[in-house]
């Protein structure tokens, strides 16, 4: 992938600017950053004593947990669909 097909977007996550480079659209990159920011703020409200590093790790753990649950749900739906086809 050449550099001219990559988007460079500066976003704000938890009060810090980050430049994210990727093949996805600028709006997609902004949406992802916004969701990370939202999740960090949500966790911070419940755990106000966390420093930013611990908050970021806890956000990552929560996000991967959600991802794995959705991945398992998708797998179960695929199995169900395959059984219906057979």
CB of 9 within 8 A of CB of 29?
yes
For residue 32, give the DSSP letter.
Answer: H
Tell me how far apart the alpha carbons of residues 33 and 11 are, in angstroms, rounded to a whole number.
7
Comparing 71 with 2, the larger pLDDT belongs to 71
Average pLDDT over residues 16-33: 97
* Res 3: pLDDT: 53
29-59 pLDDT tens trace: 999 999 999 999 999 999 999 999 999 999 9
* Res 86: pLDDT: 83
Q: Taking 60 as the threshold, does the pLDDT of residue 66 lie above it?
A: yes
Q: Whole-model pTM?
A: 0.83
């Amino acid at each position: 992938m050449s550099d001219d097909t990559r988007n460079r977007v500066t976003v704000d996550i938890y009060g810090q600017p980050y430049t994210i480079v990727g093949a996805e659209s600028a709006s997609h990159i902004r949406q992802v950053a916004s969701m990370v920011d939202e999740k960090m703020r949500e966790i911070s409200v419940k755990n106000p004593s966390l420093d930013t590093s611990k908050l970021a790790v806890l956000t990552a753990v929560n996000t991967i947990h959600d991802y794995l649950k959705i991945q398992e749900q998708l797998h179960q739906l695929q199995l169900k669909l395959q059984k219906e086809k057979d």
